[in-house]
Every structure is written in C-alpha cells, then in structure tokens.
Structure 1
Amino acid sequence: MTSKQSSPSPQNKQGTPRAQSVREHPRNLASQKQVDVRTHLEKLAEKVPGVKKANVVITGNTAIVGIDVDGDLDRSRVGTIKYSVAEALRKDPYGKNAIVTADVDISKRLAEIGNDIRRGHPISGFASELADIVGRIMPQVPSDTKAKR
C-alpha cells in the first residue's frame, strides 16, 4: 500500500509560504482588459512570417483575427500563413478560441470596428456586424443541410 504525499508548498528562505504566480486563462476575454489582450494577440499574429498587419476584435470568449498579407501571394501560401497564425494562437491561452481570416474585406471591417472602439464611439449594430463577419468566415458543410422531401 502506497501513501500519497502532496508536494510541499513553495517557501521563501525564511520558511514561510509564498504565493505562487500562476496566470490562469480567463473564462471570458471581455472580463480582462480587452485592449491588452487585443494588442497581445495582434503582436502574436504579426510575428508570423508573411503577416504585414493583424486586426483583432474580441467578443465574449472569441477573438476574431484578420491578417493582412501580400496581395501577390498565391492562395496556398496565404493558407499556410493563416494556418501558422492559428497554430501560434492555439498555443496562447487568450488565442485558443480565435477565428483567423485572411479575407481583405473582413480584415478591413475588423480594423474599422477596432478603431471605433478605441475612439470610444458607440457602434450601432456592432453585434450584427460581427455576426455578418463570422457568417462569412464559417463554411457551409453539405452534411449540415437537410434533404428536401
């Protein structure tokens, strides 16, 4: 029979317990300083080779990340860059629920929404605009359709 022992709590040199500094992922990105999280995710995406600029808008637990790439790149190279950004974000606790797009129109819309938010202007139809953007990003899968009878 083995006994289970818990590991001792970290202690400083004087032998008194010290607080552990573990940064936990928030349940809702909106509960954090969105500016800090948004900037962090933009910088993370912009570190990926081939990304000129990234624009991030956060809603709930989801970050929508629009990336700007060279317009002369072929589709497969853009897909590779987009996948690399998604990989980088997946490894980050704030980016794991992100949606990444390289669509020029959507990226511009995200930049405009972000600029309006930073200027403190109320955005009428903000939720519907984001819903439209997400609707454009999400694919339609044939198996999700219902057959007509």
Structure 2
Amino acid sequence: MKNLLLTLILISMLTACTQKQTTPENKNMNDMPQTMSVKDSHINMADIRQYTDEERANYLANLAGSLPNVNGATAVVFGTLALVGIDVDKDLDRSRVGTIKYSVAESIKNDPQGAGAIVIADPDLTGRIKAVQQDIEAGKPLQGIMNELSAIIGRLIPEVPQMNENHNPQEAPEKPKQEMDPASRNELDKEQQDQSNDHMHKSSE
C-alpha cells in the first residue's frame, strides 16, 4: 500500500529548487527533522488549480528563499500538499532556526499556494529532497527514487504501530493461556483453581 501511495505521489510530483548560495550541512544540529505545518492557510482551491505542481513548487521555493536569513529553498509539490525545505546558516542555534522557520511559515500561510505546506529546516532532509529532484530530472530508476521518498516521508511521518484491538484488561491473561498446549493449559487451570479455593478457604476462617 505504501509503495502504491509513493508511486501515485511520484507520478504527480514535480519539484523546484532555488538557491541563493550553498551552505555546508550542519553536522551539529539535532537529528530530528525540524518541521512546521502551515495549518492556518486560507485555502482557495480555485487559485491552487491555476498553477501546475511545477509552477507552485517554483513559487513556494522563490517565496521562502527570498526571506531574510534564508540562503535558499527547495519545494516539492504533490497535489495540495507541499514540502518546503529551507537552507540556513550552519552556525545558528536551534532556537534561531525555529524563529526563521516560523517566519517562513507565516509568510506562506495566507498565500493560496501555501496551503498544506510543511516547512523543513533540517539540512539532511532538505539535501535529500534536492537529490530526489536531481534523480527525477536525470531519469534515474523509479525504485530508487521511491525508496528515497519512502525514507524521507518516514522521517516526517513515522508509522504508528497498530494498537491491539483487545482493550479489555480482564481478557489479556487469556491470550497467552490459549497459546499453550492442552497439558500446560490444564495444569495452569488447576493451579489457578487451587489458588482460588485456598483464597476462599482463608476468607471463610
């Protein structure tokens, strides 16, 4: 299912990148992606449909890249969703990076083309998005591109393990007992019965 989703994304996805200057990757930043979702965008679907994904990606990349303290930006667009990766100076502390990221999100949240955008200030993910763009333009094999997209999406949206449907704590001990062989299960039942009888006997004394 995940591969199918990535295939559909890949088919409809067009990327754009604008770069004012190249900055070294920040090796000292936290490994967790620094992202910000533009939740309060005022979405006008008619305005969005006036742009192709490529045009919208270019627009968002140029918008983000033109802001103060942003050295460049990369945008990946698929449908009404967009990833906007920004490059900032490697010497900035995490708090300052967060402030810049917030200013980018604020700049695009009221723009129709910014609807659904996620702003990323993680240098590794921004670099990987650029690499995906280059691979697509170079006509690299689909499977490799899908694997890289899967890895990027996994960093942004980790899969949550499915919860056990059995929420009754009283039924929880029954499952391991059901998995026992008959002899062990009978022995456990007898032991539990003996413990119950012993408890009742002590209570009646």
Q: Do they fold alike, i.e. is TM over 0.5? A: yes
SS in 2 for 1:124: helix
1:24 to 47, 62, 70: 47
When Rg is computed on C-alpha atoms for both structures, the one with the higher figure is 2
Cα 1:76–1:129 change in 2 (3 A) is same
Match of 2:54 in 1: 35
| Identity score, percent | 44
Pick the aligned partner of 1:105 from 124, 130, 150.
124
Q: Does the 8 Å CA contact 1:101/1:137 hold for their aligned counterparts? A: no
Q: Which runs of 5+ in 1 are unaligned?
A: 1-22
From the superposition, tell whether residues 73 and 139 of structure 1 become closer, same or farther in structure 2 (CA, over 3 Å). Answer: farther
Q: For 1:19-53, what per-residue CA distance to the aligned partner results, in whole angstroms no more than 9, with x for missing partners?
A: xxxx6232xxxx94222111110010012211101
Relative contact order: is structure 1 or structure 2 higher (C-alpha 8 Å, sep ≥ 6)? 2
* TM-score, normalization by structure 2: 0.50
Paired residues in the alignment total: 121
Change (3 A) 1:52 1:123: farther
Q: Contact 1:57–1:113 (CA<8 Å) still a contact in 2?
A: no
Instruction: Return 107-116 or 64-73, whichever deviates more.
Output: 107-116
- More deviation in 92-101 or 31-40? 31-40
Asked whether the 8 Å contact 2:87–2:126 carries over to 1, the reply is: yes
1:130 maps to amino acid: L
Aligned partner of 1:70 among 80, 89, 93: 89
Question: Cα RMSD (Å) of the superposition?
Answer: 2.9
| Aligned counterpart in structure 2 of residue 51 of structure 1, from 23, 45, 70 | 70
The structure with the greater share of residues assigned to helix is 2
- Distance in 2 separating the partners of 1:129 and 1:136: 11
Q: Is 2:120 aligned against 1:84? A: no
Q: CA deviation at 1:145?
A: 9.2
One-letter code aligned to 1:72: D
- Which 5+ residue runs of structure 2 have no aligned equivalent? 1-45, 170-205
State the TM-score, normalizing by the size of structure 1.
Answer: 0.67
- Which SS does the other structure have where 1:67 is aligned? strand
